[in-house]
Structures are given as C-alpha cells and as structure tokens.
C-alpha cells in the first residue's frame, strides 16, 4: 500500500500536522492560494505593507501632537475658506471627501460591469473614477497652495506648533501621490478595456486571459484602499 502511494502521484498525501503543516500550507500556492490569482494576492500583500506605512505616519502625527508643549493649530480655522465674507470651516475638505468616496461607488460599478464583460460601461466608469481622483488631487493642490501662501512650511507655521507643517505635508502628500498613481493606472487600464484588449487577448502589460477582466478588480482593490486611508486621515488630522 505504501509503495502504491509513493508511485501514484494522483493519490493525495496525508495532511501534515502541527506547525509544519501550517508552514506547508502557507508556502504552497496549491493550498493557501488555490482560488486566488497571483495578481490579486500580490496586490493584497502590497496593500498590507502600505497599511503599515500609513499607520506609522498617523501614529507619528498623534505622538507629535500629544507631546508638543506649543498649542496645536485648530483645523477648523486653518482649513476654513471665506465664502461670501463668511469663514466656512472644513468646506473644502468635506467636498474632497465626498468626491473621493463617490469615486469608490463608480469603481465598484466598473468592477461589476467588468465581470459582465461590458467593456464600454467598464471603461466609462473607470474614466469617471479617474476624473473624481484628478478632481481630488486638484483640490489638494489648491489646499497646499493656500497654506504655503499663508506661511505654512515643513519646519513651522504661523499658528503654533512647528510639527503641524511637517505632519500635514508628509501625510497628505504621501496620500496624494497614491491617488495620482491610481488616476494614471485607471486611465491606462480603461484605455485597454475600451480597445477590447481583454477580449482579443492582445499582448502587452496587464494582459489577462481572453474575456477575463480581473485587472479591473485589482485596480479597484487599490482604489478602495486609497479611499479608506483618506477616511482615517480625515478623522485624525482634520476632525481631531
């Protein structure tokens, strides 16, 4: 019987018990990632590493804010806009948040139509998502310009604690870079979907099996992550 088991590769081997079994499961793509493509698995691993980076940034910001002896600037005053002679606190940040959250909805619909193989609606919704992202980056550029003109620098600001400027430019700049990369990626993939590259299996970067639109879902994973991170930045930086 043992000899048959060794010579017959079709016969499944007995599971390995203990820690060795756990290591064997996680080191084998036939077990741990049997139903997950490498593209999707690698995106999840990248997002996990990016989560650690953003977490370190936010933890550093909270540590700096709680440890400084100089008064921290009031976000409601710093990020207020004058509209009709009235100071409206956080109005620009609220619009930016609404735009980015709305883009998650259009991205989710793009993924849905992608798996229905409706390339026209998929490409259109991805381009709408990219437009939302570009709008967000544009408003962020306006916000940066306004604060720089008011004297905010990475080494100081006119309203109090010097750490405010470095925290603001580091966190929002790193997130804005992610949004910009996402917009470029959305446009590139939307172009390929619009041309029908995934239906004729045209050779090139990000080409999948014929009629398989998984790259749209992978792009959506990245975009939803960027939106989720902004929710934490909005809560910890602008509302605290």
CB hemisphere CA count around 110 (13 angstroms)? 31
Which stretch of 83-87, 122-126, 177-181 has the lowest confidence by average pLDDT? 83-87
pLDDT at position 38 over 90: no
* 10 belongs to a structural domain: no
* 117 belongs to a structural domain: yes
CATH number at residue 229: 1.20.120.80
- Alpha helices, DSSP H, located in the chain: 2-7, 18-26, 38-67, 75-78, 91-115, 119-149, 163-195, 197-200, 214-233
* CA–CA dist 179, 207 (Å, integer): 23
* 35 belongs to a structural domain: no
* 51 belongs to a structural domain: yes
* 177 belongs to a structural domain: yes
* 59 belongs to a structural domain: yes
Query: Residue 24: its pLDDT value, please?
Result: 66
* CA–CA dist 237, 75 (Å, integer): 8
* 16 belongs to a structural domain: no
* CA–CA dist 210, 127 (Å, integer): 22
pLDDT at position 195 over 60: yes
- Alpha helices, DSSP H, located in 84-162: 91-115, 119-149
Q: Is 86 helix (H, G, I), strand (E, B) or coil?
A: strand
Give the model confidence (pLDDT) of 96-113 as tens digits.
Answer: 999 999 999 999 999 999
Range of the domain at 182: 45-238
Q: Domain tally for the chain?
A: 1
pTM exceeds 0.75, yes or no: yes
DSSP state of 156: B
Dihedral over alpha carbons 139, 143, 144, 145 (to 10 degrees): 100
- Dihedrals phi, psi of 87, to nearest 5 degrees: -80, 115
Query: Residue 6: its pLDDT value, please?
Result: 41
* 5 belongs to a structural domain: no
Name the residue with tokens 């540590």: 63
């Amino acid at each position: 019987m043992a000899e048959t088991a060794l010579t017959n590769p079709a016969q499944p081997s007995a599971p390995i018990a203990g820690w060795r079994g756990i290591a064997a499961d996680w080191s084998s793509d036939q077990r741990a990632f049997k139903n997950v493509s490498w593209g999707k698995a690698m995106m999840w691993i990248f997002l996990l590493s990016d989560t650690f980076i953003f977490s370190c940034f936010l933890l550093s910001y909270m540590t700096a804010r709680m440890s400084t002896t100089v008064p921290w600037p009031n976000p409601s005053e710093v990020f207020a806009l004058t509209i009709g002679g009235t100071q409206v606190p956080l109005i620009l940040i609220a619009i930016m948040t609404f735009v980015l959250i709305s883009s998650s909805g259009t991205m989710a619909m793009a993924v849905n139509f992608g798996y229905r193989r409706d390339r026209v609606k998929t490409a259109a919704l991805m381009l709408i998502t990219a437009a939302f992202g570009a709008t967000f980056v544009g408003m962020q550029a306006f916000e940066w310009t306004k604060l720089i003109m008011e004297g905010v620098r990475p080494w100081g600001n006119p309203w109090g604690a010097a750490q405010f400027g470095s925290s603001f430019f580091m966190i929002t700049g790193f997130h804005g870079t992610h949004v910009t990369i996402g917009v470029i990626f959305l446009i590139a993939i939307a172009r390929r979907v619009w041309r029908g590259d995934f239906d004729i299996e045209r050779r090139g970067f990000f080409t999948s099996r014929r009629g398989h639109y998984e790259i749209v879902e992978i792009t959506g994973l990245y975009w939803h992550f960027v939106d989720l991170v902004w929710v934490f930045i909005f809560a910890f930086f602008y509302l605290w």
